[in-house]
Amino acid sequence: MTWLVNSAKWVEEVVLENGLRRALQGPEKLLGEIGVREGMVLLDVGCGYGYLSIPAAKTVGSTGLVYAVDNDERKVMRLARKAEVMGLKNLRPIRSEAWRLDGVPREGVDVAVMLYSLHHFERVRESLEEAWRRLKRGGRLFVYEPIKSRFAGHGTVADEVLELGSELGYEVGSLRRGVLTYRLELVRP
């Protein structure tokens, strides 16, 4: 059990918080690819320590807003401290489950992102449904996930998430499959 706790801490500190991840998958590049720009409202579901939220807050600027949601109070508090130190008044760290999205207004979000977090959610269907409720008409949800069959069961199946999104009323904007991960864009009509 100690090994498991230590390995989880290693993943957080070494993988999620170091420059290697940024070099391999730059958040600024990702934000550009999905069309985030000044003045937008972005929702980062499963934000962790703010890997995407902090650059997003800089990108949307003072006229935009970023809701950074995670169910881990420690991560949310750490992100709130980072935002305060950096003077990011447009970043709103929120402790909530993905299937509730407490504190995020309905139909107030331009772009929502679930960056390698969906497979951690207890209630996948309800989480996608809540994201739908938070999106404006024409708003887009981007799901980035490991491909389950290529990570020993860690991840999701793109076709299942796509089908679930269609059942909930999303339109498919795009699906890009990589070797180890996929990116699904769902649109609220």
Dump pLDDT digits (tens) for 17-40. Answer: 555 445 556 899 999 999 999 999
Q: CATH says 26-187 is which class? A: alpha beta
Q: β-strands 181-187, 171-177: how paired?
A: antiparallel
Output the pTM of the full model: 0.89
In sign, the C-alpha dihedral spanning 33, 35, 40, 46 is negative
Q: So what's the pLDDT on residue 6?
A: 44
Domain boundaries, the chain: 26-187
What average pLDDT does the segment 63-77 reach? Answer: 98
State the DSSP code for 8.
H
User: What Cα–Cα distance (Å) separates residue 2 from each residue in 5, 15, 61?
Assistant: 5, 19, 43
Dump pLDDT digits (tens) for 156-181. Answer: 999 999 999 999 999 999 999 999 99
